[in-house]
Amino acid sequence: MKIALDAAKGLAFLHGAERSIIYRDFKTSNILLDGDFNAKLSDFGLAKDGPMGDQTHVSTRVMGTYGYAAPEYVMTGHLTARSDVYGFGVVLLELLLGRRALDKGRPSREHNLVEWARPLLNHNKKVLRILDPRMEGQYSVKTAKKVTNLAYQCLSQNPKGRPLMSQVVELLEGVQSKDEDEMFQTNEKGVTLYEDSGLSSCTPETRNPDTGNGRRKPANGRSNSEPSTECDLYNPCSDFAVSSPVRS
């Protein structure tokens, strides 16, 4: 949750600038961690100035990474700050479930994490069964439901149904401060209710699919997502551009 909050603050800062900036390629491998697991955004090669005046969106060629790009942007090329919110929802889902956005090593219906998991996020019993088992239940169920509901909203097919990043930050700050209070109160009784899950963001190359998100730092430097020229979406498992369009 600390990593999610730090990353959310980064996006909120960009969106709240005098001339808003749309990050456009928010994903786990673009979040760097220092020795204290403070998260910072990296690789602004695809960043775009947001709309001005009466404009509602910026029209661009579709660029980004498979599995993280908002469906309306993929279909129309209309870019807004809510496109970043969708990408944040994907990363939040990866943190909660301990799975990659795209994983062809899983059964076919589970290849795309959002398509498989989003319908389950608003079912309390079902969502608790799909949370990352490596967290071993070391979290507040109430908090888990709040955060999964946030992911559900961020991944809305309707961009207007997604929260602003400033609202995301506010909710995550409230969740984190509440959990810290619960930790303090329960530790006085000798029982740990909630502990930091230690989930971190790693590139596909550094992340171990058998052990999940782990506590390893991602490789330093820029990611491979920035193209030399504008082109179609990138496959996160490959350094090559994919010429066929993404279907929502």
Residues noted as catalytic: 25
DSSP H helices, the chain, are 2-15, 71-76, 81-97, 113-117, 124-130, 141-154, 165-187
CB 155 within 8 A of CB 89: yes
3-state secondary structure of 176: helix
What is the distance between the alpha carbons of residues 105 and 218, in angstroms, rounded to a whole number?
A: 22
Describe the chain by its helix, strand, coil percentages, rounded to 5.
40, 10, 50
Q: Give which of 157, 149, 34, 142 is closest to 86, Cα–Cα.
A: 157
Task: State how far the Cα of 25 lies from the Cα of 3, in Å rounded to an integer.
Answer: 17
CA dist., res. 94 & res. 96, Å (int): 6
Q: State how far the Cα of 222 lies from the Cα of 30, in Å rounded to an integer.
A: 8
